[in-house]
Amino acid sequence: MKVIYHHRTRGDGAEGIHIREMIEALTKLGCKVTLVCPSSSRRELGISLGMTGVTGRETKSIKGRLKLFLTQAMELVYNAVSFFRLFCRILSKRPDFVYERYSCYHFGGVAACRLLGVPLILEVNSTYAGRFNRRQLAFPRICKWIEDWVLRRSRLVCVVSDPLRQCVLDRNVPSDRILVTPNAVNPSQLIRDPQMGNSVRAELGIDKNSVVIGFVGSLRRWHGIEFLAGAIPKIIEDCPGCVFLIVGSGELESNLKLSLENEIFNGKIKFTGGIAYSKVPSMIMAMDIGLMPDSNEWGSPMKILEYMLQGKVVVAPKLAPILEIMVDGYTGVLFQRGNAEQFVEAIVRLGRDASLRSTLGRNAQNFVLAERTWSANASWVVDSFLKSR
């Protein structure tokens, strides 16, 4: 089976991981996959800076509003580029279907497929004009029209959570055309050397007997970085044998370092900055506890699954997509979103109980290896496509 994987993203963060893993999983199923995307997206995956677009603070000024307008106008214009690029590749490759990652204002891929009579499977990781308005829009009515149009004209729609499924159902897409395919893990990335964690700790100057509490991801507001910063001093006070390992960077990095200057000086917090994604599994191996301070109401957090794959216990908020992959007290520990007291209590309790950390981490690892793999996602997509023909 011939497949074109089409996207219009930068492809260097979590979206790049998703793209790479789905392509690999489809290839392992025997599909011949051709990647069609902007040339600038073919870069190394990493946990780095990379806040794009226009912030809410910027749009309060005339200059910021103008920037918002021009930026999103260019996204609309870019449909001509993506349409032509995909149109030409479809003519040359003659795929059985196109698998596209949905982007805001993007309709070029669906238009090319409809014109040439090729089925399109649309992967939706977030919506922009439905229940979950991810970004500030310069053209909200246009965005809604485009989003409705592409959702209804795709052969199948793959969403990463049940809340997103409900959002797509709101747009009058038949339920039998919607698949829930959450983010997943690649078993080949499981590190089986138990000494890897100690080696990384030694490189970072962390005592091997410390309880390492880690965070992996971009240091952005929606990841709960400010919430985490407020909790760290109390956690260190109640669990003096712990050390925090922050893997990644972002627009809040300088603020975080400034607010925790004393803890950093005392060696209680280690920052790696932006790193290549290939180094993330070994960094996680150096941790005892993996943190997800906050998330949104529709996404499938990649970092939780990455922690679980390496057998690390996770502390995360009680949000619907997270409840789909974690069971409180069995595969991790959940707290009420925004409740700092519960967050601190959960981490301190785990920090003091190595046996509990081990049990929950092992349960989590067994779950993701059995239930959440990219291969399973790809198989379901292909089988569902074949049934839809």
pLDDT tens digits along 232-272: 999 999 999 999 999 998 888 888 999 899 888 888 999 99
Predicted local distance difference test score (pLDDT) of residue 56: 55
Predicted local distance difference test score (pLDDT) of residue 305: 96
What does the alpha-carbon distance between residue 161 and residue 164 come to, in Å, rounded to a whole number? 5
What does the alpha-carbon distance between residue 107 and residue 110 come to, in Å, rounded to a whole number? 5
Predicted local distance difference test score (pLDDT) of residue 51: 44
What does the alpha-carbon distance between residue 161 and residue 183 come to, in Å, rounded to a whole number? 9
- Answer for the pair 88, 109: CB distance below 8 angstroms, yes or no: no
- Answer for the pair 34, 95: CB distance below 8 angstroms, yes or no: yes
**Residues 90, 96, 101, 102, Cα dihedral to 10°:** 80
Q: Please enumerate in sequence order all residues whose Cβ is within 8 A of that of 50, keeping only pairs 6 or more positions apart, or say none.
A: 10, 12, 13, 218, 250
Question: How many CA atoms lie less than 13 Å away from 322 in the CB half-sphere?
Answer: 25
- Answer for the pair 290, 212: CB distance below 8 angstroms, yes or no: no
The phi, psi pair for 355, rounded to 5°, reads -65, -40
Residues of the chain below pLDDT 50? 49-52
Burial class (CB in 10 A: 0-12, 13-18, 19+), 57: exposed
CA nearest 227: which of 339, 91, 146? 339
User: Which residue segments constitute the domains of the chain, with CATH numbers given?
Assistant: 2-184+373-388 (3.40.50.2000), 189-371 (3.40.50.2000)
Give the number of other Cβ atoms within 10 Å of residue 120's Cβ: 24
Predicted local distance difference test score (pLDDT) of residue 55: 54
- Answer for the pair 103, 82: CB distance below 8 angstroms, yes or no: no
Q: What is the DSSP letter of 35?
A: E
Q: What is the DSSP letter of 325?
A: T
Helices (H), the chain: 14-28, 62-93, 108-116, 140-152, 162-169, 196-204, 225-238, 253-259, 261-265, 280-285, 302-309, 320-323, 340-352, 354-371, 374-388
- Residues 277-293 pLDDT 10s: 889 999 999 999 999 99
For the chain, what is the radius of gyration of the CA atoms? 21
What does the alpha-carbon distance between residue 321 and residue 254 come to, in Å, rounded to a whole number? 30
Q: What is the pTM of this model?
A: 0.90
Predicted local distance difference test score (pLDDT) of residue 44: 57
Give the number of other Cβ atoms within 10 Å of residue 389's Cβ: 8
